[in-house]
Structure 1
Amino acid sequence: MFFVGAVATLVTIAPLFLGTKPFPTYMFGLSMLMGVGFLLAGIGLLRSIAASRRQARGDSR
């Protein structure tokens, strides 16, 4: 998801440098996927840390 958002962001800002017609508005919405993907990765990292701590303590949750 992050990479889709990153590509959409690059495509969205490309006309600024190339001097061409801007892309449709939905491309700006797609570029928001970069933040969503980053957020999901952060949540996964925190869950992994929590699971590792539980396992180290010996909890069986």
Structure 2
Amino acid sequence: MSDRPDDPGDVLVRVGGIVFGIGMLATVATFVPLFLDLTRLPTFAYWLSMLMPLGLLVALVGLFANARSSSRRRRARQAAATGTGTAAAG
């Protein structure tokens, strides 16, 4: 176990990775019939390929949320160390 607290974006990063993986598998599944001269998959399979960029977007949002949370904690520690109490808003 890690001693650092769970960041708010950790779940988003995990979910984004899973969605990205599903989209990657769908993309591979839609390209294989094109290269092997097999029958094309239904349109639904091509729409599943859109999960890949969606998963990347969700993971990036999670990373940005983690960065903001880390920055807030760092500022709060610095404010506590200098004895100013609360950090100035804005």
Query: For this structure pair, what is the TM-score category when the shorter chain's length is used for normalisation?
Result: over 0.9
Structure 2 residue identity aligned to 1:56:
R
> Which of the pair has more CA radius of gyration?
2
Identity %, equivalent residues = 41
List alignment gaps of at least 5 residues for structure 1: none
Following superposition of structure 1 onto structure 2, how do residues 1-61 of structure 1 map, counting pairs within 5 Å? 1-58=19-76
CA RMSD of the aligned region, Å?
1.4
TM-score (norm 1): 0.93
List alignment gaps of at least 5 residues for structure 2: 1-18, 77-85
**Structure 1 residue runs of 4+, over 2 Å off?**
none
State the distance in 1 between where 2:75 and 2:64 align: 17
- How many residue pairs match? The answer is 60
